[in-house]
């Protein structure tokens, strides 16, 4: 077990339920592990201690999983992503960061994201200047409420596919390197043209094959 996780567990053991109040762990962390968690760990060859909690079981499972795209985005925003290789490590760092209300406020008021700007490009509208991510989401919600239903369905599937594509675990299943939004956008356009279908009808597999046709270098060796 990594030393940083051992130190984290020692701190939790010493604090007990106080660790929940202080924000070090979620409310369910000290509960008993689920049968599903125990079965998963045993399948992976991980020895299960009788004192294992639901939270510690989750930590052990997370050692076998890459951080999510959302977790990586938050870590990069706070410049804390260096050397983070597992979901458990990402979660512990983020829990510590977000105990500070100043960091919560910084994250809530961060600048508009890449996909916020892509929304305006997709719907061919003028992007509001110097808008925060939070205000951008409000703007998008208001715009979508009056937009064409078919176009909205296209946008939803466009987002679903890109959200899949930015997940490290998902990309690994295709032996795919990171894909820039501009490459994804071009592939979606080509699939629509070649198959004569709307974006809402597209399948992520078709988009991935097209990405690799456009950029063979994105296939992992």
Q: Are residues 52 and 129 in the same domain?
A: no
- Whether 128 has a pLDDT exceeding 90, the answer reads no
Average confidence (pLDDT) over 163-190: 94
DSSP characters over 96-129: HHTTSHHHHHHHHTPBP-HHHHHHHHHHT-PPPT
Q: Are residues 100 and 42 in the same domain?
A: yes
Q: Are residues 96 and 144 in the same domain?
A: no
> Tens of pLDDT along 1-54?
688 899 999 999 999 999 888 888 889 999 999 999 999 999 988 888 888 999
Give φ, ψ of 176 to 5 degrees: -115, 135
* Domain boundary pick from 107, 136, 163: 107
CA angle 75, 218, 209 (to 5 degrees): 115
The confidence band for 76, taking pLDDT boundaries of 50, 70 and 90, is: very high
| CB 204, CB 161: distance < 8 Å | yes
Q: Are residues 96 and 120 in the same domain?
A: no
DSSP characters over 48-80: --TT--HHHHHHHHHTTSPPPHHHHHHHHHTT-
Q: Are residues 137 and 56 in the same domain?
A: no
- Mean pLDDT score of the chain: 92
Q: What is residue 1's predicted lDDT score, i.e. its pLDDT? A: 65
Q: Are residues 76 and 131 in the same domain?
A: no
Q: Are residues 184 and 214 in the same domain?
A: yes
Number of separate domains in the chain: 2
Q: Are residues 103 and 124 in the same domain?
A: no
Q: Are residues 97 and 132 in the same domain?
A: no
* Domain boundary pick from 56, 74, 107: 107
CA distances, 175 to each of 61, 68, 76, 172, 215 (Å): 22, 17, 23, 5, 13
Beta bridge partners of 111: 132
Q: Are residues 125 and 210 in the same domain?
A: yes
Q: Are residues 149 and 90 in the same domain?
A: no
* Domain boundary pick from 83, 107, 131: 107
> Where in the sequence is the domain holding 158, given as residue range(s)?
114-218
């Amino acid at each position: 077990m990594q030393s940083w996780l051992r130190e984290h567990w020692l701190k939790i053991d010493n604090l007990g339920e106080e660790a929940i109040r202080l924000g070090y762990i979620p409310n369910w962390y000290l509960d008993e592990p689920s049968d599903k968690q125990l079965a998963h760990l045993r399948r992976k060859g991980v020895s299960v201690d009788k004192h294992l909690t639901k939270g510690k079981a989750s930590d052990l499972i997370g050692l076998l999983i890459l951080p999510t795209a959302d977790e990586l985005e938050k870590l990069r925003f706070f410049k804390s992503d260096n050397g983070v290789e597992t979901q458990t490590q990402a979660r512990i760092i983020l829990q510590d960061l977000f105990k500070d209300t100043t960091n919560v406020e910084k994250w809530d008021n961060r600048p508009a994201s890449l996909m916020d700007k892509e929304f305006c490009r997709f719907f061919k509208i003028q992007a509001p200047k110097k808008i925060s991510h939070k205000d951008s989401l409000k703007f998008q919600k208001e715009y979508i409420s009056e937009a064409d239903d078919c176009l909205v369905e296209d946008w939803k599937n466009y987002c679903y596919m890109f959200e899949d594509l930015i997940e490290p675990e998902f990309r690994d299943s295709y032996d795919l390197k990171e894909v820039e939004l501009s490459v994804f956008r071009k592939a979606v356009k080509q699939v629509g043209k070649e198959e004569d279908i709307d974006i809402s009808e597209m399948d992520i597999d078709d988009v991935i094959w097209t990405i690799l046709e456009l950029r063979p270098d994105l296939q992992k060796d």
